Structures are given as C-alpha cells and as structure tokens.
Amino acid sequence: MAEEKRNLLGPYIPTGNLVQEIVQQGKLTWNLLMDARVPLLTKIIPFAALAYLISPVDVLPDIFLGLGQLDDIAIVLMGLRLFLEFSPADVVREHLRRIASQGHWSVDVPEDKGKDDVIDGQFRAE
C-alpha cells in the first residue's frame, strides 16, 4: 500500500519510476482542469503561469543564459503547485486514486484524517 506524497508540484503516488510520476501529475492536472468541482479562479492559475512563459515581459531577461530560463521554469512549477494546492483536496484525492488504479501499479490512497484524530506519544528530555 503506497501513500500519497508531495514534491515540488504537489501530491502524487510514488511508483518508483520518475517518468510515471511525471505522467501521473500531468494527468492529475488535466483531470482537475476538466472537473467542474474545481473553482474557475483556481483553473486560471496554470494559464496565468503559461501566459508569463510566453510574455515578452520577464523578471530575468532570457539573455542571461541559464538564469533567464530558470525563472520561467520556476514560475510554471509554482503555478502548477498553486493550482494543485488550491484545488479541493477531496477532488484531488479522487482523481489521484482513479489515475493510479488505471496505471500499471495499484495503490490505496489514504482517506483524509479528521481534526479529531489524536496522536499519542512520549517525550523524554535528558
């Protein structure tokens, strides 16, 4: 049973294969864009990041080799991360579970824990 994890882009289910995980997050983003339960304002975020990418206005001009492209990549990655974070968590989990079950791997995505859950532990200062 694999558990949901997070990386620079957001939630994913580890498969042990970086390519599958990138494809999984691409499918998750696409499915959330097509889902009516995700608010319209949230759906604007990835398109705003892409608009920045093709815009002639740049924080770091592309004439600085490496740095100019790095800020473009950072904006796109932050836009995708914000989109996944602002999407309803239950909808994200539903799509993630469905995508994982359609893949070549099988997982159980943990249900969202309630606020009443208690974690018991001990602390000893020496």
Catalogue the long-range contacts made by 47-51 (C-beta closer than 8 Å, 24 or more residues apart): 48/79, 49/75, 49/76, 49/78, 49/79, 49/80, 50/76, 50/79
pTM over 0.85: no
Mean pLDDT along residues 61-77: 75
Mean pLDDT of 81-89: 91
Residue 1: predicted pLDDT:
38
Tell me the average pLDDT across 26-55: 91
In this predicted structure, the answer to whether residue 113 has a pLDDT above a threshold of 50 is yes
pLDDT of residue 7: 61
Confidence of residue 32 (pLDDT cuts 50, 70, 90): very high
Q: How confident is the model at residue 36 (pLDDT cuts 50, 70, 90)?
A: very high
Say which residue, 16 or 72, is predicted with more confidence: 72
Which is more confidently placed, 119 or 21? 21
